[in-house]
Structure 1
Amino acid sequence: MASIKRKRPDCCEQCGRSGTRLFGDHIQELKDGGAPLDENNVQLLCGSCHTAKTARARAERYSKEY
């Protein structure tokens, strides 16, 4: 995570917010087959964007199951 943060701007890659805690988010979630150690599968997101993206992915996964 630290190496990714050094290579990328210090802001949310989705909304551009800076000055906030950033989360390393798997673009394709691990539960959906995403590569855990591939830097190309990670984006830096603020808490709001990370929460919203995770909720969308879970809802989509749930709708496929039922």
Structure 2
Amino acid sequence: MAEIKRERPNCCERCGRTGTRLFGDHIVELKDGGAKLDKRNVQLLCGSCHTAKTASVRAERHARNW
């Protein structure tokens, strides 16, 4: 994560927010087959965007499994 944060701008990759804590988010979640250590599968998100993205992906996964 430290390497990814050094390589990318210090802002949320979804909304552009700066000055906030950034979370490393797997674009394709590990449960869905995403690569854990592939930097191309990680995006930096602020807390709000991370929460919204995670909820959306979980809802999609739940709908697929019904």
TM-score (norm: length of structure 2): 0.99
Deviations 1:3-28 (A, max 9, x none): 00000000000000000000000000
Match for residue 65 of structure 2?
65
Structure 2: which 5+ runs fail to align?
A: none
CA RMSD of aligned residues (A): 0.2
For normalisation by structure 1, the TM-score amounts to: 0.99
Deviating above 3 A after TM superposition, structure 1's stretches of 4 or more consecutive aligned residues are: none
Residue-by-residue CA offset, 1:7-58 (whole Å, 9 max, x unaligned): 0000000000000000000000000000000000000000000000000000
Give identity over the alignment, percent. Answer: 76
In 2, Cα distance between equivalents of 1:31 and 1:60: 12
Equivalent residues, number: 66
For structure 1, the residue ranges without an aligned partner over 5 or more in a row are none
